[in-house]
Structure formats: structure tokens, C-alpha cells
Chain A
Amino acid sequence: MAGVWILAEEHREVLELLHVGRGIADGLGTSLSALTLQAREEADECIACGADEVLLLPPLAEDQSLDAYAGVIADEARKEQPRVFLVAGTSRGRDLAARVAARLDAGLCSQCTALEIDDTREGILMKRLIYGGAAVQSLRCTTRPAMATIPPRTFDPAPAREGRTGQVRQLPHPQPSPVRIVERRVRERETRDLADARVVVAVGRGFAAEDDLGLARELAEVLGGEIGCTRPLSEEMHWLPDQACIGLSGVQVKPELYLGIGISGQIQHLTGVRGAKVIAAVNQDENAPIFGAADLGMVGDLYQVLPALVREMRKQS
């Protein structure tokens, strides 16, 4: 089917892309196909959630990675000529999308944050952030398929609807890739998933020593929140794990409340908190850029402010 294609590894991301993909397919008056690694029984759910067709990618050998599918997917796309192809923007998804785009000589909008039907071109108009988050670029692809990677959690999962029908097809087995996986180390979940946290307390260079992070942890506990940080704290100081790093090249968070403590507010970090309902900040430098990007900004020494905030919140709760 030559309409809109979506591809994701994880079930939740399949549903998110089905949601946005269905809207685009309806807008273009075309069909929606889901390329998935899911088992056959998951295909029915894909159909219930909006797919007209499910293309099952055959399971890979233990030592093979997602990139092995690049050839199979590109061959199928040459045959079917999809108009739009959306890929979940996980690490492996971004890698695979770029390779498929190279094979098809297609344009690709990386980490697309919004997309809409482009009335003039029978395609889609896409938005993404550039310059570290300082600017929004709107772009369209000049050739087919118009490709985009979409960060996980950009869209809600598609709801299931009764009575939808669709086809299921199996795609051919890929040639083994010369890139072999020799080991997988699944991370211990040191932090709950920041991306889903209701409250995020983020720490920056304003903290003089690792032991002082206890002040922020206490505040996070009172607020029922999770701890995140700026890149220097995870990457240079190693005070927090990589998955706590918020920003353009880290986690994007969408909490009800983001509270940045001792964070100056570099654009790369702020890009990761754009989706917060309320942004609050504590910093002793009244000229820190974060105050220009915060709803509530408190100018003060975090070492005095944090214990006082904790006391006040305990008093009021």
C-alpha cells in the first residue's frame, strides 16, 4: 500500500505513531501501514488502532541489530512507493531511518516535533528544533517518501476502535548485517523514567559538591518528583547517571512542574524542558538565562533556599 508508513520497535511507540499516522493518512486520503517487529497476535491490535495493513518484519538472529532491516525496508519502499514514512526516534530508529533515507535518496526530518498536511504539495509540513533549540525549522521533503523520525512520547497512543479490518503481510528475511551484537547490558533502572515524571527537580553546576545533592533529593521527595540534571553533572562530574541528563542530547521531559536548581539555563538544556507545564528556577545569579525561560524564578542561594522550601512545603501539605 502506497500511503503512510510507520515503523517502531516498541509496542507503545507503534501505538503513538499509529495515532499521528492515522491523522496524516486520513488527511491525505490514503492508507496506513505499520512495519513492526511485533508478534503476529499484536498485528490485530495495530489494525484496531488504525492500521490498514501490518507488515511483519521477521525476527532477527540474536547477534543482529535493527539496522539489518535497512535493505528489506528500502526494497519494499521502492516497490510500494509510500508517500510518508514515520519512524520512532529511538537511538536505533534514528540510525535505521537515516540509512533507509540514504538508500531511497529521500529527505528525512530528524526528531520532528509537529507535522501537518501540506496543502500545496500533497505531502507533509514538518517542524523541528535547530541551533540547540534556539530556532524552529519548518521543512518539507521534496521527494517521496517524506520521512521523519518522531521522538517517543510526542503523541499519545492511538485508541483502539471496534470493527476495523486490515491485512497482515510478512516481509522477507534480511541479509545478515556485518555489524554484530556481541553483548547486551541492560541498565539497572537507577532512576524512574524521567520522561514520564510528574515533577522533575533538576540540578546544575550551582551545587558545589556531590553530597549537597541531598538537598535537592529531599525537595524532590516532598514534591513526589524525580531528579534530573544538566549535562556537566552526568558527563563531567558523574554525580548522576547518563539517563538523568535532560536536554537536546539527553532526556526530553514533560512534567507538570520542572524546578531547576543552580542551573544557568543553556539552550541545550532548556530544549529538554519545553514541554513542562510550569518551569520554576532557583539561582543566585539574577542574570542567569534560565530566568527568561521560567514562569517562577527565585533569586537566592540554593543552600538557604532549598531547606526553606522543604520546610514551607511540609508545613502547607
Chain B
Amino acid sequence: MPTIVACFKWVIDEAYIRAGPSGEVDLSSVSWKLSDYDRNAIEEAVRLRDEHGGTVIAATVGAPGATKGIKDALSRGPDRACVAADEGFRDLEPSQTAALLAAMVSGPIGAYDLVLCGEGSSDLYAQQVGPRLAEKLGIPCVCFAQKVSLEGRRVIVERRVEEGVEVLEAPLPALVTVLPDINSPRIPGVRDTLMASKKPVETLSAGDLPPVPAARTETVELRTARLERTCERFGAEPAEIVRFVDALRRRNVLT
């Protein structure tokens, strides 16, 4: 019966990001959420457990606020959680996140068969933590899965690539990153949320993990992405339709 680790990240909800007066990123009114793509990783872990038995552990590292994500993650079906939250874990870059998760998975979690990650986080979307974590753990890894199945001590993965689909297999333990279309993540109900508060949570402090390695990248600047467009408005009346088509013609985009 497999032990499956589903990694998740508690992230800023990008829908609430505003531009400051000179284009700086204004995070003053943001709320936080469970990273979109990680919902698919958790759902897939739970689906595999429901099919094969075993245990799903939801795992995260992050700033102290990340503990707010535990209940959300557990309400989606995992059996327990393992969380390392510390002020020193704020704004980690992918190499640091992978190093800490590797220490968590190989240390406190210990025995595992499969690690599932989203293809990327909805804040940084660097798509590095999965493969970097696999390298740190020294296990095989397949990214961009649209289908995952377990057969004995092997994982079979359909991976989407530019020219179509590749079916790959790897021995367990292995790591797989999943695409958002692998499943439709459940929307937890009241009962799920109530159940979640009863599930065991292992909380680690910074001292339980090795020191955070130095960052390998530094952010020099962060600015809102401006889509500079002319924002001309048109109605839908016949005269407006003519004006719209004329406007397209004037811009030389019609053949």
C-alpha cells in the first residue's frame, strides 16, 4: 500500500495584485490560497490512494502564514500533513524550497513511494521544485503528467510533450509533476473541512531541518506587467460594427 506525499504551496492570490502609482507591485490587499496546480497534485494523490489503499501526506514549507493552508489541503482528502513554517522560509526560491522539502521527505516523513507536485506554483510558476526535489532525493522523475497509474512497484505516466504524448514508466519511489487537466480538484464541503481539523498534523520548526541554503537567484526588481493597449470602445449597433471593422483595417491586420 503506497505512501504518497503531495506537496503544496500557500501562495498570494494573483487576482488581488494591484499596480502602485509608478508600476510597483501592490500586495496590500491580497489574500492567500492553496496554489491552483497543487490542488490537482493533492486530488491525484487521493485518487490513487482510493484506488490502491495507503496513505496521503500533504507537505509544505513556507512562511508562518503557510499553516493557514493546512486545513484547506487536508479538507481535500489527505490523511495527514507535515508542515515546516518559519519566518526564515519566506520568499524562498525554487532551489531552497526543493532542499527543504527534500529534508522533510527524507527525514521526518521517511518512508514514501510516490511524491506528487503541481507542474508549477501559481505565484512563481518556475516549474523547478518537482525535478529539483527528485534530484535531491535521488529518485526518478516525470514532469507534465496528464495521467498517472501505479502498477506494483512501478508508476506509469502519460506525459504531454510538444509533439503529442509519451508514456513512461519508472520504478518507485518516484516523483511526478501533474498538469492541471489531469483531474478536476474537488471543492471541499463543510463536512470535509470539519474532518480536516481532526487529522494529524506534524509541525516542524526551522531547527528540525537543515539550514536554508543560500539563494541561487536574486530578484533585482518586481514591477506590474503593463499591457499597454489603446482601449477603444465600441457598441454593437450596425454603425459600430462598421466602425470596428474599419478600425481593424486601419491597423493593417486584415488581409
Complex Cα distance A292/B232, Å? 9
Cβ–Cβ contact A298 & B234, under 8 A? yes
Nearest-neighbour CB distance to chain B for A305, whole angstroms, equals: 5
Cβ–Cβ contact A92 & B184, under 8 A? no
Q: Tell me whether A287 is interfacial, beta carbon within 8 Å.
A: no
- A134-146: CB near B (< 8 Å → 1, else 0) gives 1111111111000
Given contacts A132-B122, A134-B14, A135-B225, contact A185 B93 (CB under 8 A): no
Cβ–Cβ contact A140 & B127, under 8 A? no
Nearest-neighbour CB distance to chain A for B116, whole angstroms, equals: 15
Q: Tell me whether A30 is interfacial, beta carbon within 8 Å.
A: no
Q: Tell me whether B1 is interfacial, beta carbon within 8 Å.
A: no
Cβ–Cβ contact A316 & B166, under 8 A? no
State how many residues of chain B have any CB contact under 8 Å with chain A.
Answer: 85
State how many residues of chain A have any CB contact under 8 Å with chain B.
Answer: 86
Name the B residues within 8 Å of A317 (CB-CB). Answer: 254-255
Cβ–Cβ contact B244 & A296, under 8 A? yes
Name the B residues within 8 Å of A309 (CB-CB). Answer: 241, 244-245
Name the A residues within 8 Å of B15 (CB-CB). Answer: 267
Nearest-neighbour CB distance to chain A for B74, whole angstroms, equals: 25
Q: Tell me whether B221 is interfacial, beta carbon within 8 Å.
A: yes
| Interface SS majority for chain A | mixed
Nearest-neighbour CB distance to chain B for A106, whole angstroms, equals: 6
Choose the segment among B57-65, B78-86, B135-143, B195-203 that binds chain A (4+ C-beta atoms closer than 8 Å): B135-143
Complex Cα distance A182/B169, Å? 7
Complex Cα distance A199/B142, Å? 35
Cβ–Cβ contact B132 & A137, under 8 A? no
Q: Which residue on A lies nearest to B240, using beta carbons?
A: A298
- A282-306: CB near B (< 8 Å → 1, else 0) gives 0000000001111111111100110
Complex Cα distance A178/B153, Å? 13
Name the B residues within 8 Å of A101 (CB-CB). Answer: 95, 128, 132, 216
| Interface SS majority for chain B | mixed
Cβ–Cβ contact A279 & B229, under 8 A? yes
Cβ–Cβ contact B225 & A129, under 8 A? yes
Given contacts A107-B216, A186-B164, A294-B229, contact A135 B25 (CB under 8 A): yes
Cβ–Cβ contact A231 & B128, under 8 A? no
* One of B93, B98, B233 near A297 (C-beta < 8 A): B233
Cβ–Cβ contact A257 & B241, under 8 A? no
Within 8 A of A (CB), among B227-252: 227, 229-236, 238, 240-242, 244-245, 247-249, 251-252
Nearest-neighbour CB distance to chain B for A272, whole angstroms, equals: 12
Cβ–Cβ contact B255 & A224, under 8 A? yes
Within 8 A of B (CB), among A160-190: 177-187
Q: List 10 A-B contacts (CB under 8 A).
A: A65-B166, A99-B141, A142-B214, A142-B218, A178-B170, A234-B181, A278-B251, A294-B231, A297-B233, A299-B233
Instruction: Given contact pairs A139-B219, A298-B233, enumerate 13 new A-B contacts (beta carbons under 8 Å).
Output: A107-B217, A110-B120, A135-B25, A135-B222, A138-B223, A139-B218, A179-B168, A249-B180, A296-B232, A298-B235, A299-B236, A309-B241, A309-B245
- Top 4 A-B pairs ranked by shortest CB distance? A300-B236, A107-B216, A102-B135, A187-B164
